[in-house]
Amino acid sequence: MSGSVFGKNFTVSTWGESHGEALGAVVDGCPAGLPLREEDIQPYLDRRKPGQSRFTTRRSESDTVRILSGVFEGKTTGTPISLILFNEDQRSKDYSEIASVYRPGHADYTFDRKYGFRDYRGGGRSSGRETAGRVAAGAVAARLLKEFGITVTAYTKAIGPVAIRRTDLSECMKNDLCMPDAEAAKEAAAYLQQLMEEGNSSGGIVECVIRGVPAGLGDPVFDKLSSQLAKAVCSIGAVKGFEIGDGFHSALSTGVENNDAFRMKDGGIVKVTNHSGGILGGISDGSDIILRAAIKPTPSVSAPQATVTADGRDTEIRIRGRHDPVIVPRAVVVVECMAALALADALISNMGARLDRMIDFYRDLH
Amino acid sequence: MSGSVFGKNFTVSTWGESHGEALGAVVDGCPAGLPLREEDIQPYLDRRKPGQSRFTTRRSESDTVRILSGVFEGKTTGTPISLILFNEDQRSKDYSEIASVYRPGHADYTFDRKYGFRDYRGGGRSSGRETAGRVAAGAVAARLLKEFGITVTAYTKAIGPVAIRRTDLSECMKNDLCMPDAEAAKEAAAYLQQLMEEGNSSGGIVECVIRGVPAGLGDPVFDKLSSQLAKAVCSIGAVKGFEIGDGFHSALSTGVENNDAFRMKDGGIVKVTNHSGGILGGISDGSDIILRAAIKPTPSVSAPQATVTADGRDTEIRIRGRHDPVIVPRAVVVVECMAALALADALISNMGARLDRMIDFYRDLH
Amino acid sequence: MSGSVFGKNFTVSTWGESHGEALGAVVDGCPAGLPLREEDIQPYLDRRKPGQSRFTTRRSESDTVRILSGVFEGKTTGTPISLILFNEDQRSKDYSEIASVYRPGHADYTFDRKYGFRDYRGGGRSSGRETAGRVAAGAVAARLLKEFGITVTAYTKAIGPVAIRRTDLSECMKNDLCMPDAEAAKEAAAYLQQLMEEGNSSGGIVECVIRGVPAGLGDPVFDKLSSQLAKAVCSIGAVKGFEIGDGFHSALSTGVENNDAFRMKDGGIVKVTNHSGGILGGISDGSDIILRAAIKPTPSVSAPQATVTADGRDTEIRIRGRHDPVIVPRAVVVVECMAALALADALISNMGARLDRMIDFYRDLH
Amino acid sequence: MSGSVFGKNFTVSTWGESHGEALGAVVDGCPAGLPLREEDIQPYLDRRKPGQSRFTTRRSESDTVRILSGVFEGKTTGTPISLILFNEDQRSKDYSEIASVYRPGHADYTFDRKYGFRDYRGGGRSSGRETAGRVAAGAVAARLLKEFGITVTAYTKAIGPVAIRRTDLSECMKNDLCMPDAEAAKEAAAYLQQLMEEGNSSGGIVECVIRGVPAGLGDPVFDKLSSQLAKAVCSIGAVKGFEIGDGFHSALSTGVENNDAFRMKDGGIVKVTNHSGGILGGISDGSDIILRAAIKPTPSVSAPQATVTADGRDTEIRIRGRHDPVIVPRAVVVVECMAALALADALISNMGARLDRMIDFYRDLH
């Protein structure tokens, strides 16, 4: 149990259900002295907010974050940072069907099997709304990383069969799908429009690039930077696959192709290529960290589906109401935030790696 | 730091370097009363042992495991189980080159950047030999799971471009590549032979099927069963990608296709299909858990490679000696063992999920 | 860092400062199906509330708790339980002195040294107000333990030199000092009255008895039930000493006196005496668990004290305003709650100790 | 379960039973570059070794430690350090009585209740021999602390009613009881001689002083330096009480007495007194850390004792063979080592406390 805490030295606990009074996160282990205001966090939440385009659910939430602790005179104090968002749009609705029938592709059945019952209102804890807490916490991690010149940037790489051909990040904000390729975005929009008319939905791929990471983060065996990122990203609801660097392509490759040659440049060591995706032996190598997440299609489709009732009878369900035909564009910021949380933790955890640096660190503190 | 402990309730700590005196693992949290002998563990180690085919390094190690604690009169006592393997083949060899030159695709450079220096003998802690400790511990986890009717079975799905067309597990033991398809195994062998002649190497894909898992394992948010499996598998040295169920294919799919319908069967609830790979909302759904790992090509290739020296000069390296042209066949048992470790931990961690079951559990213990 | 999470399987994260907007706790790992209402928690908070007697500070806080998540239709869902208390009495006050001068016996100096600055308003995170979050969470743990017939009861054993001579728990609620001995309470009150007139304060001892604990909780080596209780209790601000069973008296004792003989009674094994305080080898032995905490005198005294300014000048400070002349009576419920948290965690963590019981547990879940 | 790992960033896992083949510890998270040889560890083990005086058991063990991993060319590599000690004196002996009868004051009964059976040979995992692993690991922690000018020194403060009147550390090595007071040592020896003749045993108190600790270690709430030390020390088998600074005496004291005044000295802030024992608000204040542990009398006494058999019959037991009439002198080094482990962990964990220092730390690592 107690699987709601992530991280070792920079940790986050999230809490809250889709239709509860509020949702939130507690960030613990954030260094003291970090300038932090609600305005640093809000833009991240706005990016995952519902009701922003024809491709997202109509639920209307301002998702306004409030910092309740851990910040004094505009700076973090080193104590836990409590972040809260109050739910607004919990319109009383008829949940009797969801309560008694298991929606295919959802966690209704597994929650009942694990806990004996569940908060069936809008998916409860398994709702996509749970990610709001991660995003609020991840924004704090990203704010910390910024102080070290580390940036985390994610975007939509593909929606169903429509993949980007170019990566112009300035395009991402210009289209509803967060795609860095205007043309691909148009094609993807048409594809989604078609699926919506059929009461169907689409999956897709999110790509994330982390720049400015110093070499040396991550530990050799179980806590590799790659395995921590894998856990972080695969803990997002709809993620079914994870890649670092060349990922599954490297399975098709050869050593001669796949190895990244080292070369001296401006007095430093650089890799000529980056098939490794910025991590060697589980430790950051100083080049960009590149990862991808495969997102499954929204399980809430209006087309009729065969399923069973909680009391064990075969039946058919038609999911009512308007749902996201694709989760990917809203998942982009969630992937970004989970990656930031893993990085912030690795950045702090690495400080005890070398005696000589520890001695320097403590020299003038006696 | 301290990234050498895996798990929360069923934990393993591994230790040891490629050319140290010994390697080992300490398993903590294994329930008392489990029948356990060295013969339960040895077969797993034998499967990853070097020198077994023309496709693996010639290093000769018997890899004989010894249980030093935690077992009394043939059964686990509930206390830590210490497992040890002594290194035998540490023939004195000239490591001066590896000591001063960074091998592309290896962790030489990142270890030096993180720790300031490294045990350069055969890769030290970052050597594939480190996996012997995981396998010994994973064998204990697998032995525990067996008591619950849970089996974990992995095999080679693809080597480079050669993928299996059929899955006949009885075939796996009959070919050097652990492929459940004799024909594909022949083609893959020819492909590897060709690469070996070029001083090159290949990547591939391992697939793992976990049967008999009760519904309810895993936690909803960060500690999903899928994220724990992702961390476990991505913590294996050469793994660059991870999938659960349909994985990256689900990104191309639609909700109507991808959702698994529920149906009643023999009084129980079953899924008609298994695109989810046995996990919904991070919790096991009772059907087979299916995962895949993408393994990169062996970085040790004899073809010349551009690189740099530790003191910052461009140079060229030719890796001497005989190395595995492919890691995949030996990685199969490692994936199996890491999956078993994650499952054993989830099995124990789930016991506190429901008050009614806790009350039953403690009723007669007062 | 990140030292604000307590427990392994039943965990609590607390957050909040004395003069922030709110304080709270997130309880994770509470089993699903536990009946829980705010009315189960409020009485615990009321017991530590300020302004209840002439011996406590006049700060007026209703300390009304609200459950924001993790409970549905009156029962816990197995997901995180978020508890919040809004601060009400944060009257604007002149903190310039506390901001620039280090109060003896307080954490002002150590916080500045650790974090570089601090929230100086009323002690910030190091204020006794921090314990409100622990108490709210501990009340949930106590509610869980109640389902297993486990009760945790603490009371004042001594205030300064005045110790109880008898233990009549019904008396505790009848006097301001939570002493189970009316006469001793009168003497202690007189002693405190005298100290208050001198602008001085007193220390004391809290004793806690835990009944109904089944044998077998706690682990043999580092996570002994006694060491977990020690950590739990010693993490309370003013605690300077901890005892289990005979504690420091056992140092004066002999084996013949101190050993508890075993005897059969009604078909069960009982101890004739309980010098061990209910724990043998770190594991509960089925008899009452008895522990004590030494509480230091309130550091806020109005008598003048020699100290230094934050910028390094010798000076003198007189703490203004009304402060508790003794913390002990309000610490009683905090000790109770920390003990309950440690017990709840041990109760869940013990479930995986035996294979035979795990097999029973899972038998009908397949 | 899995209670055999201690620490967060500097962790130790111990393993091994009294009469198993070997005992050991795995230290993880030790910074790279620390000079470490077996000769740094052996002296600590020699101090707890049996058979050294008329006051300790005659079991003869050389307790020779071997480092199996984590050290290369005389320095730690940052990877796990595996330490092993082989048991030598496991003379075949008749354990049938211990196997079937519960020894009062021992863990025989609680182990059986928890695990269903136990390794009864010499106490198995609950034997005092388990502390050998802690001492080996603690010696590594002490070696690390030495690099920071931090020393941990423990000694016998009292044996039964005989307490030291002076503290001359040079005396400790001169008497069998590790008392820094020659005269008290003589009296204590006479007291023990008397008890031995009666087949009885004595308890006592160990005191530990930690010098050179920088201000700022420890976290404010649950992971206070004091609570971590409490857990560390109370996890030692026979410890029944713990004190920091004035401990239980502070319960009798008043704020005016107990507060430590601050004063400027040589440009730094010092405390005029040290009632706090070097910790304020859970964080080190730069003065000496002083703690004490109450050790219960050896439960193995040869006098006849009433007890029960494992199958539930009243009986009487006489513990045969020669046992330590007092554990205290051998516990001294164990307390020292547990304190060193807690300090080493706090030293590393504190490095992420301040943004400005993190930025300095990483500035030249990009």
Chains in contact with chain D (at least 3 beta-carbon pairs closer than 8 A): A, B, C
pLDDT digits (tens, 9 = 90+) for A62-93: 889 999 999 999 999 999 999 999 988 766 56
Residue in B158, B308, B352 nearest the CB of A263: B308
**B72 close to C (CB below 8 A):** no
**A248 close to D (CB below 8 A):** no
Compute the count of residue pairs across chains A and D with CB atoms less than 8 Å apart: 90
Residue D2 has pLDDT above 70, yes or no: no
**Beta strand A151-159 pairing with A162-163:** antiparallel
**D2 close to B (CB below 8 A):** yes
Enter the DSSP assignment of A164.
-
Residue B316 has pLDDT above 60, yes or no: yes
Whether C352 sits inside 8 A of B348 (CB atoms) is yes
Whether A17 sits inside 8 A of C119 (CB atoms) is no
Whether C82 sits inside 8 A of A125 (CB atoms) is no
Whether C105 sits inside 8 A of D255 (CB atoms) is yes
User: Would you state the structure tokens that stand for residue C196, as one six-digit string?
Assistant: 């208050």
**C79 close to B (CB below 8 A):** yes
Q: Looking up tokens 């700022």, which residue turns up? A: D216
How does residue A175 score in pLDDT terms, banded at 50, 70 and 90?
Answer: very high
**B236 close to C (CB below 8 A):** no
pLDDT digits (tens, 9 = 90+) for A6-40: 999 999 999 999 989 999 999 999 999 999 999 99
**D221 close to C (CB below 8 A):** yes
Q: Which residues pair with D211 in a beta bridge?
A: D151
Residue C10 has pLDDT above 90, yes or no: yes
**B234 close to A (CB below 8 A):** yes
How confident is the model at residue C67, as a pLDDT? 98
How confident is the model at residue B294, as a pLDDT? 98
How does residue D1 score in pLDDT terms, banded at 50, 70 and 90?
Answer: very low
A266 CB burial (10 A radius; 0-12, 13-18, 19+): exposed
Residue A188 has pLDDT above 80, yes or no: yes
Chains in contact with chain C (at least 3 beta-carbon pairs closer than 8 A): A, B, D
Residue in C220, C354, C356 nearest the CB of B79: C220
How does residue C94 score in pLDDT terms, banded at 50, 70 and 90?
Answer: low
Residue count (chain D)? 366
Tell me which CATH code domain D5-363 carries. 3.60.150.10
Please answer whether residues D260 and D275 qualify as being in contact, where contact means their C-beta atoms are separated by less than 8 angstroms.
yes
Query: Chain C residue with minimal CA distance to A82?
Result: C15
How confident is the model at residue C99, as a pLDDT? 87
* Cβ neighbours of A317 in B, within 8 Å: none
Interface test with A, best of C69, C120, C127, C345 (most A CBs within 10 A): C69
Q: How far apart are CA A282 and CA A261, in angstroms?
A: 18
pLDDT digits (tens, 9 = 90+) for D94-103: 677 788 999 9
How confident is the model at residue C2, as a pLDDT? 58
Residue A327, Cβ neighbours under 10 Å: how many? 29
pLDDT digits (tens, 9 = 90+) for A111-153: 999 999 999 888 889 888 999 999 999 999 999 999 999 999 9
Residue B54 has pLDDT above 80, yes or no: no
Residue in C9, C15, C16 nearest the CB of A1: C9
Element (H, E) at B194: helix B182-197
**How many CA atoms does the CB half-sphere of B364 hold within 13 Å?**
3
How does residue C276 score in pLDDT terms, banded at 50, 70 and 90?
Answer: very high
Interface test with B, best of D77, D121, D130 (most B CBs within 10 A): D77
**Sequence-separated (6 or more) residues with CB below 8 Å from residue C213:** C150, C278, C284, C286, C288, C289, C343
What are the helix (H) ranges across chain C?
38-48, 96-100, 108-115, 131-146, 169-172, 182-197, 225-234, 249-252, 255-258, 328-349, 355-363
Distances (CA, A) of A136 to A39, A84, A133, B18, B304: 11, 9, 5, 43, 49
How does residue D46 score in pLDDT terms, banded at 50, 70 and 90?
Answer: very high
Interface test with A, best of B219, B242, B279, B285 (most A CBs within 10 A): B242
Shortest distance, CA A42 to any CA of chain D (angstroms) = 22
Residue C52 has pLDDT above 90, yes or no: no
Shortest distance, CA B351 to any CA of chain C (angstroms) = 7
* Cβ neighbours of A14 in C, within 8 Å: 80
Shortest distance, CA B73 to any CA of chain A (angstroms) = 32
- pLDDT higher at C58 or D70: D70
Please answer whether residues C285 and C278 qualify as being in contact, where contact means their C-beta atoms are separated by less than 8 angstroms.
yes
Dihedral angle at the C-alpha atoms of C49, C54, C58, C61, nearest 10 degrees? Answer: 20
Q: How far apart are CA A301 and CA D182, in angstroms?
A: 84
* Cβ neighbours of A15 in C, within 8 Å: 26, 28, 68-70, 79-82
Query: For chain C, where are the E strands, in sequence order?
Result: 5-6, 11-16, 22-28, 65-67, 71-72, 75-76, 81-86, 151-159, 162-163, 204-211, 239-244, 262-265, 268-271, 279-280, 283-284, 289-295, 305-308, 314-317
How does residue A323 score in pLDDT terms, banded at 50, 70 and 90?
Answer: confident
Q: What is the mean pLDDT of residues C10-29?
A: 95
Chains in contact with chain A (at least 3 beta-carbon pairs closer than 8 A): B, C, D
Element (H, E) at D39: helix D38-48
**A365 close to B (CB below 8 A):** no
How much of chain A, in percent, has pLDDT values that exceed 70?
97
Shortest distance, CA C21 to any CA of chain A (angstroms) = 6
Whether D348 sits inside 8 A of A351 (CB atoms) is yes
Exposure pattern of C269-292 as b/e (b: 16+ CB <10 Å)? bbbeebbbbbbbbbbbbbbbbbbb
Shortest distance, CA C35 to any CA of chain A (angstroms) = 13
Please answer whether residues C13 and C5 qualify as being in contact, where contact means their C-beta atoms are separated by less than 8 angstroms.
yes
Residue in A76, A212, A353 nearest the CB of D32: A353
* Cβ neighbours of D354 in C, within 8 Å: 114-116
Residue D272 has pLDDT above 70, yes or no: yes
Whether C280 sits inside 8 A of D107 (CB atoms) is yes
Q: What is the mean pLDDT of residues C35-59?
A: 86
Element (H, E) at A96: helix A96-100
**A29 close to D (CB below 8 A):** yes
Q: How far apart are CA B25 and CA C211, in angstroms?
A: 39
How does residue B123 score in pLDDT terms, banded at 50, 70 and 90?
Answer: confident
**B283 close to C (CB below 8 A):** no
Query: Chain A residue with minimal CA distance to B112?
Result: A216
Whether B1 sits inside 8 A of A252 (CB atoms) is no
**D352 close to A (CB below 8 A):** yes
Shortest distance, CA C16 to any CA of chain A (angstroms) = 5
- Residue in D214, D358, D75 with CA at minimum distance from that of residue A354: D75
Shortest distance, CA A203 to any CA of chain D (angstroms) = 38
Residue B1 has pLDDT above 60, yes or no: no
Distances (CA, A) of D157 to D128, D131, D172: 20, 20, 11
Q: What is the mean pLDDT of residues C119-123?
A: 87
How does residue B111 score in pLDDT terms, banded at 50, 70 and 90?
Answer: very high
Residue A1 has pLDDT above 50, yes or no: no
Interface test with B, best of C213, C217, C366 (most B CBs within 10 A): C366
Residue C358 has pLDDT above 90, yes or no: yes
pLDDT digits (tens, 9 = 90+) for B178-219: 999 999 999 999 999 999 999 999 999 999 999 999 999 999
How confident is the model at residue B4, as a pLDDT? 80
Interface test with A, best of D28, D148, D345 (most A CBs within 10 A): D148
**B250 close to A (CB below 8 A):** yes
* Cβ neighbours of A358 in D, within 8 Å: 31, 148, 347-348, 351
Please answer whether residues C330 and C340 qualify as being in contact, where contact means their C-beta atoms are separated by less than 8 angstroms.
no
Domain boundaries, chain A: 5-363
Q: How far apart are CA C324 and CA C299, in angstroms?
A: 10
Residue A44, Cβ neighbours under 10 Å: how many? 26
